[in-house]
């Protein structure tokens, strides 16, 4: 009963006190809910906004933040990749600004270009595929998921076939975890494996919005920036080369320009740094390359056997078809272009998305003035028309707001669910464990308590003491021997280890016995007159009258089993026996922050459901001590 | 039952499989070439190298295949060292172990790895053996052995086993040394020359750091840090080269006594710690005249390094490829620099040598499996495997980043000219001037102990003190304490005279404990025996029959309790007198364990902490629900609404509450809790980094989650207070508080008393919170006694000592339990429903 009487509630003093109480309760309620909301909001976040603690994530309401998130995901969290593609220096994705104005003509042209030209898969990276390597960054990205599914389909959802097909020891495709491609770098080559082939088949078919086109200009700017000659200082570069660039990223080189003072750098860059797939030779260049090969190999048969090729004669060897796959011939090609005496500068040609784009524009407009007229531009030459990647990204974001938001809302959850369903038998183990824990605690304890209460054994108090004295044992003393006992009787890594020791609980028996004692004796006597069986009396009298308290015991067993982590992992270290909780704790160790929050939210659902349904039972089953 | 059939099926099917592929030998290996943390390292060059090596092995030995996985379970603050030891403790060990030097001592000492002597002949070279005519290709001869095992590693690999004889225990598969790596672009931005201005001494490092931290000063979002200082238990790891450059070794081995001793309290070590703290805390004035402290960054450095917000890191480089570290593999010479570790005031620059090593489990008995394991560990890391690695690096265009002498050795001298000279010099210097990572008994925990002086110094802000002699004096004390602790706890080294003194005291104290336990049992027994013997009414034949039924009904419960509570109790009592090892079994040592525990300062400190924790727990977790229940029962409307809201946290299970809060306790100013307290006008707090706040931070989640469910029982109890008492009080003119104190509280006092003792005992013994949130840190400030026992048992594998600790705690809590038992014996339990008035 409330301390204030109902009649007192009109007293202003009491009203004041009640207001204070309401205030305190509301403030408390806020501290209860706030972390919850943060948890839910956190489960929607990515790397960009993981450390912003707001109840409503900004990307849901702000297009600019959505754009930043999109860009971060698309560029695989790698700011380098963004800098090169967009020729723009930003240190972190948070500082990326949306494009100021979109040029519709250029965008339309770009779309036409993208659709009409056949861009080789080596000319772009896959976006939304990787994450920054690190101890706690793992998140399953959109295209990794697509790729896994792609492989899953190829193998007909059969792990054995997968292992055979790819010659791998991985248990299944979930474990595929690709590292970033570095297709611009000379020292990066794609191995000729089945796996890489499949990846490239997959890559060919990704949607254009997921492509990260490789800008050689951007890479070159970065290269210049890192040269010791200029020490990262554009003024120094301008001074030494008598140029007037305002930043390294303004330097464009869509094709060879021999008269430019920076040509020497360009040459060095192409000869030594750029991946060979972007380089081809002029006709004279090919002749020289053939000469080089002839000098190195005695005849075409020798070359074919040493380089694993099948050319009919030296004249057939032309490096034209850009491919990032490793081959011994490209090795030779790389050796050749490094030597300025053999491979003259004028031999070198570069082919990339940028050159394709330029050629496309030239074809379409013939002269730059035509383009400037249509597009309202002030371009000096076609080389100045850089790829409108940022505009395309922004356009994509604006047109797909809802889809992207939904994607970011769900993608952490998707990862957790995938992880849990694919790894081991977490669900099955948890359900079985909870089920048996509830079942055994509802059988063993009431039966024992009933026996004690009904039969009034001469030794009943000693037995009760026997049960309840276990509460005085320091758990630390029994923990280790218990563990060893489990090991000796072979219970480790089985459900027995989790369930059997917890079957009987001294305190529950004590509570139940006290409760059964308080049931009216007359009921039993009436049953005796009807000659009811002992089981009947137990089930229909004792048990059915104690439903609330039994429910509380069951709930306790459920909570104990569901949230058991320490003993679950110590007693069942084998992965096959891990429960959801162990898997989730394991996942926290490496997953991204957003995915971690999502796992917290998901794991709270079963307990929330149980609480909602059992709320009233809990309240009715509360047991209070009363002095005898 | 399903699981039983399932198991039978698995066993049967595995037998079937074995008979099917007779020749195939499967070895469960911890090392899985070609995968990294269970994931395919598909396009990375290391993945390619390892896959190629494994293919070559497979080609050579088609009948040997690899099983097992390497998914580790992580425990906070203890590192992945624990997963191996837990697996071994569980009898689930792999056939081939993959471990580093600091772990090697434990693997040898505890008998986990078998000696490899049968496969090794260190007296003759292979040529000599061939001449003598007893050459066996499966044997590793002197020449191969010496090439495989570097001189300094030999001491760790050829070492005293449990039988006090020297044996070979493992073969290295990789070598790594630490070098300094820096972002050239950031150097440029700071106006430094990325080659000439590379810091070569400690002072230069600090000066360069000052410049680097002033890049982008205005934009706080992307401010730049100079170098990474590992956080918490990693700082001693990160700073290792500083100590080695001051000639400070972590441990030394006494050949005469055949014992290890920690020695990291020499003047060199103190000097190194002093410098290290200055990197974090030394005050200096920036260009704007603002006072700043230190130049280092504490926390996860790698992501910052990748984002270009951190300029210098100390990373490992392998003995083959200079930029072998996964973090920098994609960077070119133009982007990053590699230099040697800055020299100490002694003018020395010494690197630390790491390496992974393969050993064979001593649990294998089948000679065929042992032989297969030997072939595996011999191949991985052999010259042939290295050749494959170099070939693969070259093929992938890493030619210019391979060390020149390796290029020479494997016939790729055409690349030598292209190798960056400064890199090659730095890595070669580090390879030639290295010391081994600390190794010895239980040394996998050494970084934790070496971290003590650093974190103590950090917490006391010693780096800010301008007086050097004061700093040194203080740090010397911290170092001495840490060394003493490491010697006693990690190595188990206690002077003999001390042992002689301790033993008798331990005997007396232990006997008192056992005696008191006996008295307790008698006392409780009496409390539970009813005062009036009303029961002995049944003597007839019938009652015997009935009694038999009763006993049958009781049997499951009695047996369970007997087997899983009483038997372990007895066994625990025995174990407290044993030195118990998982693979060695029990050996009686009398009262030695008790002697160790009684004189273990950490143990008593952990008990004090537990008491402190319990009181905090009572104030912050136990009482608030009572208050809440009283407030809730006062309000006329909205009771259910508030009740549901306050109950909400309870739907998240315990460990998850802790994990969630752990992320809220972010020490950054924009962490959740720091934002909130910042709003209230407080300075940001390093929650888990500060001794005082760590304890509170651990309790807050329990308080939050326990409020709602805790108040339910009091709500029910308050309902049973008869309203006529309040009416009478109202008539007497008593106000709210006087009614509360004189009526409400006395009415629910029995409930409070019972629960408070449960809460106290529960809090006293809790360990899960710390295990999840702090791992016992900072500097042991949250190592409560429960955690202390857990660590002793499962991390140090000292079951005997852990059990002895358990008994002593039981003794300490005895008073409470007796009181509790007595109360319970006088109580009846009723559902609140039936009591309502």
Q: Give the count of beta carbons closer than 10 Å to the beta carbon of residue A99.
A: 16
Would the CB atoms of A177 and B87 count as touching at under 8 Å?
no
Looking at residue B321, the DSSP 8-state letter turns out to be B
Which of A251, A266, A244, A259 shows the shortest CA–CA distance to A221? Answer: A251
B174 Cβ neighbours under 8 A, 6+ residues apart: B318, B319, B355, B356, B381
Residues 388-427 of A with CB under 8 A from B: none
Rounded (10°) angle between helices A216-226 and A79-86: 110
Which of B790, B250, B221 shows the shortest CA–CA distance to B486? Answer: B250
Q: Among A41-45, A474-478, B174-178, B485-489, name the one with the lowest average pLDDT.
A: A474-478
Whether B95 and B371 have beta carbons less than 8 Å apart is answered as no
Both tokens of residue B141? 């001869």
Pairwise CA distance, residues A181 & A266, whole Å: 23
Both tokens of residue B311? 């300029």
pLDDT at B34: 58
Both tokens of residue B261? 């001793």
Average pLDDT over residues B334-357: 90
pLDDT at A424: 65
Would the CB atoms of B556 and A462 count as touching at under 8 Å?
no
Q: Give the count of beta carbons closer than 10 Å to the beta carbon of residue B212.
A: 24
Radius of gyration, alpha carbons of chain A: 36
| Chain B nearest C-alpha distance from A470 (Å) | 7
Would the CB atoms of B736 and A4 count as touching at under 8 Å?
yes
Cis amide prior to B117 (ω within 30 degrees) = no
Q: Inform me whether the C-beta atom of residue A338 falls under 8 Å from chain B C-beta atoms.
A: no
Q: Inform me whether the C-beta atom of residue A134 falls under 8 Å from chain B C-beta atoms.
A: yes
Pairwise CA distance, residues B644 & B120, whole Å: 70
pLDDT in tens, A484-535: 888 888 887 888 888 888 888 888 888 888 888 878 888 888 888 888 888 8
Q: Give the count of beta carbons closer than 10 Å to the beta carbon of residue B290.
A: 10
| Chain A nearest C-alpha distance from B151 (Å) | 33
| Chain B nearest C-alpha distance from A427 (Å) | 14
Q: Are strands A279-281 and B310-318 parallel, antiparallel or unpaired?
A: unpaired
Return the residue in B663, B767, B815 with the most chain A beta carbons within 10 A, the one to mutate for interface testing. Answer: B663
- With vertex at residue B17, the alpha carbon angle to CA B15 and CA B19, rounded to the nearest 5 degrees, is 70
Pairwise CA distance, residues A213 & A124, whole Å: 4
- With vertex at residue B195, the alpha carbon angle to CA B194 and CA B199, rounded to the nearest 5 degrees, is 85
Pairwise CA distance, residues B579 & B592, whole Å: 9
Question: What separation, in Å, do the N-terminal and C-terminal C-alpha atoms of chain B show?
Answer: 48
Whether B260 and B252 have beta carbons less than 8 Å apart is answered as yes
Which of A404, A417, A445 shows the shortest CA–CA distance to A556? Answer: A445
| Chain A nearest C-alpha distance from B251 (Å) | 30
Both tokens of residue B513? 């404990």
Would the CB atoms of A479 and B793 count as touching at under 8 Å?
yes
pLDDT at B36: 45
Residue of A nearest to B71 (CA): A575
| Chain B nearest C-alpha distance from A111 (Å) | 31
Pairwise CA distance, residues B498 & A306, whole Å: 75
Q: How far is CA B282 from the centre of its chain?
A: 30
Which of A508, A470, A483 shows the shortest CA–CA distance to A568? Answer: A483
Both tokens of residue A391? 């505009």
Q: Are strands B225-229 and B310-318 parallel, antiparallel or unpaired?
A: parallel
Q: Count of residues for chain B?
A: 837
Which of B178, B202, B495 shows the shortest CA–CA distance to B351? Answer: B178
The dihedral sign for the CA sequence A260, A266, A271, A274 = negative
Q: Is B218 helix (H, G, I), strand (E, B) or coil?
A: coil
- Does B46 score more than 60 pLDDT? yes
Return the residue in B1, B31, B37, B42 with the most chain A beta carbons within 10 A, the one to mutate for interface testing. Answer: B42
pLDDT in tens, B761-804: 888 888 778 877 777 777 778 888 888 887 787 777 777 888 88
pLDDT in tens, B611-659: 999 999 999 999 999 999 999 988 888 888 898 888 888 877 677 788 7
Would the CB atoms of A18 and B634 count as touching at under 8 Å?
yes
Pairwise CA distance, residues A225 & B556, whole Å: 78
pLDDT in tens, B549-563: 888 888 889 999 999
pTM: 0.76
Q: For residue A262, give Cα distances in angstroms to A31, A267, A380, B218, B478.
A: 62, 9, 19, 33, 59
Q: Among A108-112, A227-231, A292-296, name the one with the lowest average pLDDT.
A: A227-231
ipTM, two decimals: 0.73
**Closest Cβ opposite residue B653 in set A22, A232, A563:** A563
Phi, psi values for residue B526, rounded to 5°: -70, -40
Chain A residue numbers with beta carbons less than 8 Å from the beta carbon of B3 are 432, 494-495
**Closest Cβ opposite residue B550 in set A457, A509, A510:** A457
Pairwise CA distance, residues B161 & B700, whole Å: 47
| Chain B nearest C-alpha distance from A127 (Å) | 16
What pLDDT band is residue B76 in, cutting at 50, 70 and 90?
very low
Whether A432 and A496 have beta carbons less than 8 Å apart is answered as no
Chain A residue numbers with beta carbons less than 8 Å from the beta carbon of B2 are 432
H-helix segments, B680-744? 691-719, 723-731, 736-739
Q: pLDDT over 90 for what percent of chain B?
A: 21
What pLDDT band is residue B231 in, cutting at 50, 70 and 90?
low
Q: Inform me whether the C-beta atom of residue A439 falls under 8 Å from chain B C-beta atoms.
A: no
Residue A425, judged by CB atoms within 10 A of its CB (0-12, 13-18, 19+), counts as: middle
Pairwise CA distance, residues A1 & B667, whole Å: 45
Provide the mean pLDDT of chain B: 81
- Does B15 score more than 60 pLDDT? no
Q: Inform me whether the C-beta atom of residue A165 falls under 8 Å from chain B C-beta atoms.
A: no
Chain A residue numbers with beta carbons less than 8 Å from the beta carbon of B656 are 563, 581, 584, 600, 603-604
Looking at residue B150, the DSSP 8-state letter turns out to be -
pLDDT at B90: 58
Residues 197-216 of A with CB under 8 A from B: none
**Closest Cβ opposite residue A624 in set B222, B569, B832:** B832
Whether B115 and B168 have beta carbons less than 8 Å apart is answered as yes
Whether B353 and B153 have beta carbons less than 8 Å apart is answered as yes
Q: Give the count of beta carbons closer than 10 Å to the beta carbon of residue A487.
A: 17
- Does B385 score more than 80 pLDDT? yes
Phi, psi values for residue B316, rounded to 5°: -95, 145
Whether A581 and A603 have beta carbons less than 8 Å apart is answered as yes
B503 Cβ neighbours under 8 A, 6+ residues apart: B590, B591, B592, B595
Return the residue in A175, A552, A624, A626 with the most chain B beta carbons within 10 A, the one to mutate for interface testing. Answer: A624
Both tokens of residue A409? 């809302």
| Chain A nearest C-alpha distance from B275 (Å) | 28
B722 Cβ neighbours under 8 A, 6+ residues apart: A1, B837
Q: How far is CA B115 from the centre of its chain?
A: 28
Return the residue in B607, B652, B676 with the most chain A beta carbons within 10 A, the one to mutate for interface testing. Answer: B652
Pairwise CA distance, residues A197 & A193, whole Å: 6
Q: Give the count of beta carbons closer than 10 Å to the beta carbon of residue A20.
A: 11
Pairwise CA distance, residues A386 & B555, whole Å: 84
**Closest Cβ opposite residue A604 in set B188, B573, B651:** B651
Residue of A nearest to B633 (CA): A2
Both tokens of residue A150? 């792609």
Would the CB atoms of B554 and A603 count as touching at under 8 Å?
no
Q: Is A190 helix (H, G, I), strand (E, B) or coil?
A: strand
Which of A483, A445, A628 shows the shortest CA–CA distance to B92? Answer: A483
Residue of B nearest to A10 (CA): B636
- Does B506 score more than 80 pLDDT? yes
Would the CB atoms of B659 and A620 count as touching at under 8 Å?
no
Average pLDDT over residues B392-410: 86
Pairwise CA distance, residues A318 & B602, whole Å: 75
What pLDDT band is residue A25 in, cutting at 50, 70 and 90?
very high
Phi, psi values for residue B348, rounded to 5°: -105, 145
Residues 554-583 of A with CB under 8 A from B: 559, 562-563, 565-566, 569-570, 573-575, 581-582
Q: Inform me whether the C-beta atom of residue A548 falls under 8 Å from chain B C-beta atoms.
A: yes
**Closest Cβ opposite residue A574 in set B92, B664, B820:** B92
pLDDT at B83: 60
Pairwise CA distance, residues A368 & A377, whole Å: 9
What pLDDT band is residue B8 in, cutting at 50, 70 and 90?
very low
Looking at residue A325, the DSSP 8-state letter turns out to be B
Phi, psi values for residue B32, rounded to 5°: -120, 95
Element (H, E) at B404: helix B404-409
| Chain A nearest C-alpha distance from B334 (Å) | 5
Q: Inform me whether the C-beta atom of residue A613 falls under 8 Å from chain B C-beta atoms.
A: no
Return the residue in A220, A479, A552 with the most chain B beta carbons within 10 A, the one to mutate for interface testing. Answer: A479
Pairwise CA distance, residues B602 & B791, whole Å: 12
Whether A281 and A291 have beta carbons less than 8 Å apart is answered as no
- With vertex at residue A402, the alpha carbon angle to CA A401 and CA A408, rounded to the nearest 5 degrees, is 90
């Amino acid at each position: 009963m409330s301390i204030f009487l109902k009649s007192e509630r009109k007293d202003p003093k009491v009203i004041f006190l009640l207001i204070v109480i309401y205030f305190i309760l509301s403030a408390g309620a806020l501290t209860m809910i706030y972390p919850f909301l943060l948890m839910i909001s956190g489960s929607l976040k990515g790397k960009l906004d993981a450390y912003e603690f707001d109840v409503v994530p900004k990307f849901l309401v702000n297009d600019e933040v959505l754009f930043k998130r999109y860009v971060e995901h698309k560029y695989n969290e790698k700011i380098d990749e963004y800098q090169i593609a967009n020729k723009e220096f930003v240190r972190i994705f948070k500082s990326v600004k949306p494009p100021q104005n979109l040029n519709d003509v250029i965008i339309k042209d770009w779309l036409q270009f993208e659709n009409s030209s056949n861009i080789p898969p080596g000319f772009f990276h896959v976006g939304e595929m990787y994450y920054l390597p690190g101890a706690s960054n793992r998140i399953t990205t959109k295209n990794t998921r697509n790729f896994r599914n792609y492989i899953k389909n190829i193998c007909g959802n059969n792990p054995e076939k997968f292992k055979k097909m790819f010659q791998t020891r991985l248990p299944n495709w979930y474990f595929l975890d690709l590292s970033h491609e570095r297709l611009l770098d000379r020292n990066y080559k794609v191995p000729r494996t089945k796996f890489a082939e499949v990846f490239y088949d997959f890559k060919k078919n990704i949607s254009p919005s997921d492509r990260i086109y490789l800008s050689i200009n951007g890479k070159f700017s970065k290269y210049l920036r890192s040269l010791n000659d200029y020490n990262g200082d554009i003024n120094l570069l301008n001074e030494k080369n008598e140029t007037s660039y305002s930043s390294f990223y303004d330097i464009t080189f869509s094709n060879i320009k021999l008269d430019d003072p920076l040509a020497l750098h360009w040459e060095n860059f192409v000869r030594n740094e750029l991946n060979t797939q972007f380089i081809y030779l002029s006709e004279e260049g090919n002749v020289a390359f053939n000469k080089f090969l002839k000098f190195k190999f005695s005849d075409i048969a020798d070359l074919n056997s040493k380089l694993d090729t099948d050319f009919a004669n030296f004249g057939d060897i032309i490096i034209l078809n850009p491919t990032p796959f490793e081959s011994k011939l490209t090795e030779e090609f790389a050796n050749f272009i490094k030597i300025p005496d053999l491979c003259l500068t004028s031999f070198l040609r570069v082919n990339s998305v940028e050159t394709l784009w330029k050629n496309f524009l030239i074809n379409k407009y013939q002269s730059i003035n035509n383009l400037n007229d249509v597009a309202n531009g002030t371009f000096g030459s076609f080389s100045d028309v850089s790829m409108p990647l940022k505009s395309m990204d922004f356009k994509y974001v604006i047109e797909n707001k809802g889809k992207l938001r939904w994607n970011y809302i769900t993608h952490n959850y998707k990862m957790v669910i995938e992880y849990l369903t694919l790894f081991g038998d977490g669900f099955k183990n948890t359900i079985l464990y909870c089920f048996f824990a509830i079942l055994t605690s509802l059988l063993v304890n009431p039966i024992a308590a009933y026996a004690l209460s009904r039969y009034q054994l001469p030794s009943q108090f000693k037995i009760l003491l026997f049960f309840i004295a276990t509460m005085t044992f320091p758990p630390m003393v029994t923990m280790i021997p218990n563990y060893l006992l489990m090991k000796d009787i072979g219970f480790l890594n089985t459900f027995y280890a989790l369930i059997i020791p917890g079957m009987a609980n001294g305190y529950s028996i004590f509570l139940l016995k006290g409760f059964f004692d308080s049931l009216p004796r007359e009921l039993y006597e009436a049953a005796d007159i009807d000659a009811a069986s002992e089981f009947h009396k137990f089930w229909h009298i004792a048990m059915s009258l104690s439903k609330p308290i039994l429910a509380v015991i069951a709930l306790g067993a459920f909570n104990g089993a569901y949230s058991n982590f320490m003993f679950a992992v110590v007693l069942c270290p084998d992965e096959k026996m891990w429960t959801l909780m162990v898997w989730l704790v394991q996942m926290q160790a490496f997953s991204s922050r957003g995915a971690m929050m999502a796992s917290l939210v998901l794991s709270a659902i079963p307990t929330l459901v149980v609480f909602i349904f059992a709320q009233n039972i809990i309240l009715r089953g509360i047991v209070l001590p009363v002095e005898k | 039952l399903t699981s039983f059939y399932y198991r039978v099926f698995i066993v049967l099917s595995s037998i079937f499989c074995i008979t099917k592929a007779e020749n195939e030998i499967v070895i469960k290996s911890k090392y899985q070439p070609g995968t990294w943390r269970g994931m395919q390292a598909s396009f990375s060059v290391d993945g390619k190298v390892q896959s190629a090596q494994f293919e070559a092995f497979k080609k050579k030995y088609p009948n040997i295949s690899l099983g097992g996985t390497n998914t580790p379970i992580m425990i906070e603050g203890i590192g992945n060292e624990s997963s191996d030891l837990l697996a071994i403790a569980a009898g689930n060990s792999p056939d081939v172990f993959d471990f580093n030097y600091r772990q090697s001592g434990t693997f040898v000492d505890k008998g986990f790895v078998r000696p490899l002597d049968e496969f090794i002949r260190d007296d003759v070279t292979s040529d000599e053996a061939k001449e003598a005519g007893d050459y066996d290709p499966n044997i590793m001869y002197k020449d191969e052995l010496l090439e495989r095992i570097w001189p300094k590693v030999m001491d760790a690999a050829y070492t005293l086993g449990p039988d006090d004889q020297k044996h070979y225990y493992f073969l290295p598969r990789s070598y790594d040394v630490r070098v300094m790596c820096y972002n050239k672009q950031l150097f440029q931005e700071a106006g430094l020359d990325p080659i000439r201005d590379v810091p070569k001494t400690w002072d230069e490092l600090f000066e360069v750091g000052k410049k680097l931290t002033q890049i982008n000063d205005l934009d706080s979002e992307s401010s730049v840090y100079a170098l990474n200082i590992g956080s918490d238990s990693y700082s001693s790891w990160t700073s290792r080269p500083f100590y080695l450059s001051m000639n400070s070794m972590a441990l030394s081995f006494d050949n005469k006594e055949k014992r290890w001793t920690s020695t990291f309290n020499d003047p060199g070590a103190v000097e190194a710690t002093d410098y290290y703290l200055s990197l974090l805390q030394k005050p200096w004035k920036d260009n704007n005249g603002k006072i700043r402290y230190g130049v280092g960054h504490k926390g996860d450095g790698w992501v910052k390094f990748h984002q270009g917000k951190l300029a210098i890191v100390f990373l490992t480089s392998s003995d083959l490829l200079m930029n072998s570290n996964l973090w920098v593999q994609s960077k070119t010479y133009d982007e990053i620099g590699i230099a040697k570790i800055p020299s100490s005031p002694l003018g020395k620059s010494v690197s630390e040598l790491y390496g992974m090593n393969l050993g064979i489990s001593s649990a294998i008995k089948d000679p065929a499996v042992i032989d297969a394991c030997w072939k595996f560990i011999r191949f991985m890391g052999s010259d042939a495997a290295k050749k494959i690695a170099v070939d693969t690096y070259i093929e992938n265009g890493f030619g210019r980043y391979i060390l020149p002498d390796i290029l020479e050795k494997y016939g790729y001298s055409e690349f030598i000219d292209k190798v960056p000279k400064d890199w090659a010099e730095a890595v070669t210097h580090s390879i030639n001037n290295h010391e081994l990572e600390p190794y010895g008994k239980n040394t996998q925990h050494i970084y934790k102990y070496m971290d003590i002086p650093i974190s103590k110094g950090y917490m006391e802000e010693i780096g800010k003190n301008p007086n050097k002699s004061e700093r040194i004096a203080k740090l010397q004390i911290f170092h001495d304490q840490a060394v003493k602790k490491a010697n006693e706890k990690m190595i188990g080294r206690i002077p003999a005279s001390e042992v002689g003194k301790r033993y008798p005291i331990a005997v007396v104290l232990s006997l008192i404990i056992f005696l008191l336990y006996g008295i307790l049992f008698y006392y409780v027994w009496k409390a539970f025996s009813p005062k009036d013997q009303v029961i002995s009414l049944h003597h007839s034949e019938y009652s015997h029959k009935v009694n038999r039924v009763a006993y049958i009904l009781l049997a499951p419960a009695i047996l369970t309790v007997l087997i899983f509570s009483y038997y372990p109790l007895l066994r625990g009592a025995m174990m407290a007198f044993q030195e118990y090892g998982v693979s060695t079994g029990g050996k009686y040592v009398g009262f030695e364990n008790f002697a160790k525990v009684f004189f273990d300062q950490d143990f008593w400190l952990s008990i004090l902490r537990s008491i402190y924790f319990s009181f905090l727990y009572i104030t912050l977790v136990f009482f608030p629900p009572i208050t809440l229940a009283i407030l809730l029962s006062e309000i006329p409307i909205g009771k259910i609404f508030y009740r549901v809201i306050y109950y909400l946290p309870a739907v998240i299970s315990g460990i998850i509450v802790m994990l969630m809060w752990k992320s809220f306790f972010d020490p950054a100013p924009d962490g959740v809790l720091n934002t909130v307290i910042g709003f209230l006008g407080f300075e940001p707090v390093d929650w888990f980094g500060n001794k005082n706040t760590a304890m509170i931070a651990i309790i807050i989640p329990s308080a939050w989650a326990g409020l709602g469910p805790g108040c339910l029982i009091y709500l029910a109890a308050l309902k049973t207070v008869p309203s006529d008492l309040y009416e009478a009080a109202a008539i007497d003119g008593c106000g709210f508080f006087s009614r509360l104190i004189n009526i409400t509280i006395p009415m629910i006092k029995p409930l409070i008393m019972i629960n408070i003792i449960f809460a106290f005992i529960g809090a006293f013994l809790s360990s899960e919170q710390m295990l999840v949130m702090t791992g016992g840190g900072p500097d042991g400030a949250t190592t409560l006694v429960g955690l202390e026992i857990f660590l002793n048992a499962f991390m140090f594998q000292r079951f005997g000592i852990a059990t002895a600790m358990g008994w002593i705690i039981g003794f300490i809590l005895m008073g409470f339990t007796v009181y509790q038992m007595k109360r319970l014996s006088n109580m009846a339990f009723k559902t609140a429903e039936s009591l309502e008035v």
